[in-house]
């Protein structure tokens, strides 16, 4: 195999982006999986895509549009789900379809070539610039740092939000903080992975880690590891077979999930529950 | 004379169109064990949530542990109020063990940026021993039975070292043996730690033994209050639950003969 490709700047940028994006997305994914809010993430990633297209159409920075739209969707979804005014599925379904509709509307209104829009749709990790990496690096450090600093508050909120509130923890703030970080992570990874695919990189590594451990700390670590593994393996497959990298990264993360699900010790959870203690 | 630790004054709570509490007043003295019963939708859970500051008052006010609850102080007062919510299904795959869940009770006291130390883990282990769960300390929380999960919830609440102990139907959906054991455990803890306890339940048979006072709630109001032996008559229960006396008698007889 000719490995000279790894000497090129664009490939090094891609490897670094896959590393940082893998860690940030997979860390956020642990919240998404354990707080049972996968649809919120899907909704926010499509909102980010719509916002980025608005930026492209009106001529401002697409990432500003992406961040604003994903936070806007979180600001609508959060209280709706919180107050239980609509079932979360209904409110998310409405916002999800609205965002997808807006995204294609902005794309249709955009004059000239649509190549920039398609890049945001499918992602193009090989064209990442140094500033993209710096942005992704900052977001990754913030996400990992906040998880480290507020681990106990996060753990309690994930376990049971009302219980966390009842012991005097700022659980509502933690929930909105998680939504904010989700928006920032999606925005920072949008150019690399693409608006349609980004959510798979958030969900799959965490869902795979969830199959394999009963320790939340280990789940965060495993998830980040699977995120990076998905990024790097996907990148390699993309290079070897000359196919879009965003798609190969996402497919790889799905394969990792399937393998984890097949070999999950938690598949035997029911039998384990019935077992007397002496047999453990 | 014992001090007043909870004083609810004309509390009104509404969830959109539904009025959950329509002008409830209740005074609880330090060290009292108060049992609260009533049909579903009577406002029992809401009554507990306005005491720990999770419920929002439309009007009225609540005095708890020397302060009137306000949005600004409810956060810090909550650290002194132990709350065991109703039994909920816990994800069997939840990546947390029993010991970690009990430790959550310490988190509010620890405050931000501080990690649990040796002393906190010692308290957690002591509480697990108190509720008879030491042997399951390392077990994933989702693998426990309903009764075991309630014991863990009580241990978590006690790890908080509360002054008030609020329990919301801790024996619901448990079998008769587990119900009796949980109530006995709560009573023992209440007595030994000199707590003030509000206990919401549907378990009418063992409650009179434990309670100093009963509060009967219906349609968002306190319908009656007094000693358990005075209040828990077939006639009162028939009117409280809108059931014929014969049905109440049969149900009580059936439950006792189990």
Q: What is the pLDDT of residue A40?
A: 80
Number of domains in chain B: 1
Asked if B78's CB is within 8 angstroms of A216's CB, the reply is no
Q: Counting beta carbons within 10 angstroms of the beta carbon of residue B236, is it exposed (0 to 12), middle (13 to 18) or buried (19 or more)? A: middle
ipTM score of the complex?
0.85
The structure tokens listed for A216 are 């939340």
Distance CA A238, CA A123 (A): 13
B12-27: average pLDDT: 87
Closest listed residue to residue A181, CA positions, set A210, A232, A144: A144
pLDDT tier for residue A269 given thresholds of 50, 70 and 90: low
Using an 8 Å CB-CB cutoff, list chain B residues near A162: 54, 85
pLDDT reading at A244 higher than 60: yes
Mean pLDDT of the residues in chain A: 86
Distance CA B184, CA B205 (A): 12
pLDDT, tens only, B216-237: 999 999 999 988 888 888 888 8
Q: Which of A159, A170, A266 sits opposite B101 (nearest CB)?
A: A159
pLDDT reading at B91 higher than 70: yes
Q: Which residues contact A48 (CB under 8 A, 6 or more apart)?
A: A66, A67, A69, A70, A183, A186, A187, A190, A195, A198
Answer with the residue of higher pLDDT: A146 or B205: A146
**Cα-based distances in Å from A129 to A116, A124, A193, A196, B244:** 15, 11, 14, 21, 77
Q: Which residues contact A128 (CB under 8 A, 6 or more apart)?
A: A10, A13, A14, A17, A191, A192
Closest listed residue to residue B210, CA positions, set B228, B223, B230, B232: B228
B40 with B18: CB under 8 angstroms? no
pLDDT, tens only, A13-72: 899 999 999 999 999 999 989 988 877 888 888 899 999 999 988 988 888 999 999 888
Closest listed residue to residue B24, CA positions, set B166, B224, B220: B220
Q: Which residue of A157, A161, A167, A270 is the best one to mutate when testing the B interface, meaning the one whose CB has the most B CBs within 10 A?
A: A167
pLDDT reading at A277 higher than 50: no
A190-198: average pLDDT: 83
Distance CA B152, CA B137 (A): 9
pLDDT reading at A273 higher than 80: no
pLDDT, tens only, B123-144: 999 999 988 899 999 999 999 9
Using an 8 Å CB-CB cutoff, list chain B residues near A218: 95
How many A/B residue pairs have CB atoms within 8 Å?
81
Beta strand pairing call for B18-29 and B4-15: antiparallel
Asked if A156's CB is within 8 angstroms of B95's CB, the reply is no
Using an 8 Å CB-CB cutoff, list chain B residues near A216: 95-96, 100
Using an 8 Å CB-CB cutoff, list chain B residues near A157: none
Is the domain spanning A12-108+117-261 CATH 2.60.40.10? The answer is no
A43 with A99: CB under 8 angstroms? yes
DSSP secondary structure code for residue B59 in this structure? E
Counting residues of chain A whose pLDDT is more than 90, the rounded percentage is: 44
Asked if B160's CB is within 8 angstroms of A167's CB, the reply is yes
Asked if B105's CB is within 8 angstroms of A273's CB, the reply is no
B12-19: average pLDDT: 82
pLDDT reading at A274 higher than 50: no
Q: Which residues contact A245 (CB under 8 A, 6 or more apart)?
A: A14, A123, A124, A125, A126, A234, A235, A238
pLDDT reading at A96 higher than 50: yes
CA nearest to A275 within chain B = B143
Helix (H) or strand (E) holding B36: strand B33-37
**Cα-based distances in Å from A29 to A167, A218, A223:** 26, 14, 8
pLDDT tier for residue A279 given thresholds of 50, 70 and 90: very low
Q: What is the pLDDT of residue A276?
A: 43
pLDDT tier for residue A245 given thresholds of 50, 70 and 90: confident
Q: What is the pLDDT of residue A280?
A: 34
Q: List B residues 90-119 in contact with A (Cβ-Cβ < 8 A).
A: 92-97, 100-101, 104-105, 107-110, 112-113, 115-116
Closest listed residue to residue B86, CA positions, set B27, B16, B174: B174
pLDDT, tens only, B142-162: 999 888 898 999 999 999 999
Q: How far is B81 from chain A (nearest CA, A)?
A: 8
First to last CA, chain B: 41
pTM: 0.86
Beta bridge partners of B12: B22, B59
Using an 8 Å CB-CB cutoff, list chain A residues near B159: none
Question: Does B86 lie at the interface with A, CB-CB under 8 angstroms?
Answer: no
A111-139: average pLDDT: 84
Q: What is the pLDDT of residue A19?
A: 94
pLDDT tier for residue A225 given thresholds of 50, 70 and 90: very high
Q: What is the pLDDT of residue A1?
A: 62
Least confident piece of the model among A31-40, A96-105, B161-170: A31-40
pLDDT reading at B45 higher than 80: yes
pLDDT reading at A153 higher than 90: yes
Q: How far is B44 from chain A (nearest CA, A)?
A: 17
Mean pLDDT of the residues in chain B: 87
Asked if B85's CB is within 8 angstroms of A214's CB, the reply is no
Q: How far is A177 from chain B (nearest CA, A)?
A: 15
**Quick one: how far is CA B147 from the chain centroid?**
15
Q: What is the pLDDT of residue A126?
A: 82
CA nearest to A169 within chain B = B108
Q: Which of A149, A215, A273 sits opposite B95 (nearest CB)?
A: A215
Answer with the residue of higher pLDDT: B106 or A86: B106
Counting residues of chain B whose pLDDT is more than 70, the rounded percentage is: 94
CATH number at B168 reads 3.40.50.300
Q: How far is B171 from chain A (nearest CA, A)?
A: 18
Instruction: Using the CB atoms, write b or e for B125-150: b if 16+ within 10 Å.
Output: bebbebbebeebbebbbbbbebbbbb
Distance CA B176, CA B184 (A): 12
Question: Does B149 lie at the interface with A, CB-CB under 8 angstroms?
Answer: no
Distance CA A176, CA A182 (A): 10
Q: How far is A216 from chain B (nearest CA, A)?
A: 5
Asked if A159's CB is within 8 angstroms of B95's CB, the reply is no
The structure tokens listed for A5 are 């490709």
Q: Which residue of A165, A166, A271 is the best one to mutate when testing the B interface, meaning the one whose CB has the most B CBs within 10 A?
A: A166
Closest listed residue to residue A197, CA positions, set A23, A66, A30, A25: A25
Q: What is the pLDDT of residue B252?
A: 64
Q: Which of A164, A216, A272 sits opposite B143 (nearest CB)?
A: A272
Domain boundaries, chain A: 12-108+117-261
Domain span at B104: 4-257
């Amino acid at each position: 195999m000719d490995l000279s490709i790894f000497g090129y700047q664009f490939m090094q940028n891609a490897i670094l982006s896959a590393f940082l994006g893998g860690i940030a997305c997979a860390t956020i994914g642990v919240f998404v999986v354990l707080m049972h809010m996968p649809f919120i993430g899907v909704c926010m990633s499509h909102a980010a895509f719509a916002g980025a297209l608005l930026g492209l159409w009106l001529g401002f920075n697409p990432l500003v549009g992406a961040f604003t739209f994903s936070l806007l969707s979180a600001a609508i979804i959060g209280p709706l789900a919180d107050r239980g005014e609509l079932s979360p599925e209904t409110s998310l379904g409405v916002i999800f379809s609205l965002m997808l509709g807006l995204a294609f509307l902005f794309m249709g209104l955009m004059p000239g070539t649509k190549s920039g829009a398609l890049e945001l749709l499918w992602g193009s990790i090989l064209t990442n610039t140094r500033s993209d990496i710096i942005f992704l690096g900052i977001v990754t450090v913030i996400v990992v740092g906040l998880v480290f600093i507020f681990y106990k508050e996060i753990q309690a909120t994930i376990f049971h939000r009302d219980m966390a509130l009842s012991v005097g923890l700022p659980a509502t703030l933690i929930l909105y903080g998680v939504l904010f970080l989700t928006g920032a992570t999606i925005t920072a990874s949008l150019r690399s992975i693409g608006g349609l695919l980004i959510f798979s990189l958030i969900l799959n590594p965490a869902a795979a880690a969830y199959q394999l451990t009963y320790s939340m700390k280990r789940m965060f670590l495993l998830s980040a590891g699977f995120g990076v593994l998905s990024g790097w393996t996907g990148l390699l497959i993309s290079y070897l077979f000359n196919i879009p990298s965003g798609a190969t990264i996402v497919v790889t993360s799905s394969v990792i999930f399937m393998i984890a699900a097949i070999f999950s010790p938690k598949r035997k959870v029911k039998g384990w529950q019935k077992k007397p203690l002496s047999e453990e | 004379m014992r001090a007043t630790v909870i004083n609810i004054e004309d509390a009104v709570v509404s969830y959109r169109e539904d009025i959950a509490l329509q002008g409830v007043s209740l005074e609880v003295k330090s060290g009292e064990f108060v049992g609260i019963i009533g049909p579903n939708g009577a406002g029992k859970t809401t009554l507990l949530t306005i005491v720990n500051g999770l419920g929002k008052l439309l009007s009225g006010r609540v005095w708890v542990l020397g302060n009137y609850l306000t949005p600004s102080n409810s956060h810090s007062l909550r650290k002194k109020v132990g709350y065991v919510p109703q039994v909920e299904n816990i994800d069997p795959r939840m990546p947390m063990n029993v010991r970690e869940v009990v430790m959550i009770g310490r988190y509010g006291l620890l405050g931000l940026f501080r990690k649990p130390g040796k002393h906190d883990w010692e308290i957690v282990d002591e509480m697990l021993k108190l509720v008879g769960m030491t042997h399951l300390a390392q077990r994933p929380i989702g693998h426990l039975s309903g009764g075991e999960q309630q014991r863990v919830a009580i241990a978590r609440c006690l790890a908080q070292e509360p002054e008030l102990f609020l329990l919301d139907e801790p024996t619901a959906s448990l079998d008769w043996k587990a119900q009796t054991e949980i109530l006995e455990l709560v009573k023992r803890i209440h007595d030994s730690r000199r707590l003030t306890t509000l206990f919401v339940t549907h378990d009418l048979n063992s409650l009179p033994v434990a309670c100093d006072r009963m509060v009967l709630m219906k349609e968002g109001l306190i319908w009656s209050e007094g000693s358990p032996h005075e209040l828990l008559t077939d006639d009162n229960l028939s009117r409280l639950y809108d059931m014929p006396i014969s049905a109440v008698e049969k149900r009580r007889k059936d439950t006792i003969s189990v």
